[in-house]
Amino acid sequence: MSVFAIGDLHLPGHEQKPMDVFGSHWDRHFETISANWRRKITQDDIVLIPGDISWAMQLSEAADDLNAIGGLPGTKLLLRGNHDYWWSSLTRLRAVLPPNMHVIQNDAIRFGEHVFCGTRGWNFPTAQQALSEQDEKVYRRELMRLRMSLDQARKLDGSDVTVMLHFPPLFSDGIGTAFTDLLQEYAVQRVVYGHLHGAGIKIAYEGIREGIEYRLVSCDALAFDPVCIISE
């Protein structure tokens, strides 16, 4: 079993929203992703998808997108992104998912010795930019949810923990945040995140920090090619 990651698939949903308005490299991007996926990923592998999966507004409108992902090889673990408005209650969502697809929402799941957990995350305050009152509330709530998820991961007692976030937990300057403090407290092995596109990719932190590996996996940052984060 190997573990791959690719986020921000931005599938069209009911609106048939084209992505090439963001650049020609997005033209038929899911066809590129699918070809690369089938070339390297097997049914025995796991694929992490940390958010912004479909532009659909309702769960019923996301069905075709979820089934398209479900038709690709491997077991998929989904996390909610800030554009996943279709994401309904966990009971409703899990009832319609293909059998090889699971969702993570403030909880954790274990496969062998590998445990996967996570939450959406949010913008964090910096020396240059404070948060609005509303953003501060969401930020604090997401920190609480991350701790809940990490607590669940600890209970599963795996030897290798991967955290999925949608929003970046830090920027390229490497300055720590309350998110990275929590990740260090629980001594996780790695973090994958998305959300950043285009010029925003430049502010992503990638590499090892305080013993934790951070990886940006938004699909355009990966040239629409799922990246292997654990090879076995």
Instruction: Give the pLDDT confidence score for residue 67 in this predicted structure.
Output: 93
Q: Lowest mean pLDDT: which of 104-113, 124-133, 163-172?
A: 124-133
Q: What is the pLDDT of residues 87-126, one digit of tens each?
A: 988 899 999 898 899 999 989 999 999 999 999 999 998 8
Q: In what order do the strands lie in the sheet with 75-79?
A: 101-103, 75-79, 46-50, 3-5, 227-230
Give the type of residue at 193.
Y
Give me the chain's average pLDDT, please.
93
What pLDDT shows up at residue 129? 87
**Inter-residue contact 178 to 126 (CB < 8 Å):** no
**Nearest partner of 231 among 164, 160, 180, 183, judged by Cα:** 160
Distance in angstroms (rounded) separating the CA atoms of residues 127 and 140:
17
**18 band by pLDDT with thresholds 50, 70 and 90:** low
SS3 call for 214: strand
Q: For the whole model, what pTM was predicted?
A: 0.95
With cut-offs at 50, 70 and 90, classify the pLDDT of residue 155: very high
Residues facing residue 102 across a β-bridge? 77
Rounded-to-integer distance, Cα 106 and Cα 120, Å: 9
12: pLDDT strictly greater than 60: yes
The yes-or-no verdict on residue 133 having pLDDT over 60 is: yes
Q: How far is CA 92 from the centre of its chain?
A: 20
Check pLDDT > 90 for residue 22.
no
